[in-house]
Structure 1
């Protein structure tokens, strides 16, 4: 009986490792998609500002905001809607400094993601 358990341990360990790695890969993909989508939208926007922990910017006459809601980053237009852009977020912070927008996210598992986007001072 001991031999059967001992022999199956490497298989169980390998399966658990693969599940953890797949989860990390999925989160990294979600982070990259979030950053690409946000950069594409920011490229077409104006009047960036941060208020109450929210990133706000104008797109085609509307005000779009990105903010943390529970464990998610969500996108709203004119204060309405609930488009989830990123999940499993423990804390998110936005900052406009030195001609750049900084985005820093701490995920619930403790991993962190940071991105920056240069902006034109005249449009913020």
Structure 2
């Protein structure tokens, strides 16, 4: 009878020990996950920072490309004209005939003398210049 009680107690102790081990394993897993959480959050923050850097880099590239395209589009080359040999109106007509033949024929475009108009001052700027100089 005592042997049976001892065997029963032993088996109960084994069951309790196995339950405690499984509980400890679960707690250890939870602790490991908690320890990894800041790492994952840091990694997520770094990933979003990298994404922003990539977006900014792409924006800079696009701006550079647009600027370069604008410069290339406005790139004008000098025409081999000796200074003073041909008057400006004749030069303009020659260029227009060469580049826009149909437009010149249809519209009868003629050169006009350009005039510069002085830049208007804003009221606030004029006030500061007059009273604060």
TM-score past 0.5 threshold: no
TM-score, normalized by length of structure 2? 0.33
Larger Rg computed on CA atoms: 2
TM-score, normalized by length of structure 1? 0.35
Higher strand share: 1
By relative contact order (CA 8 Å, sep 6+), the higher-ranking structure is 1
Higher helix share: 2
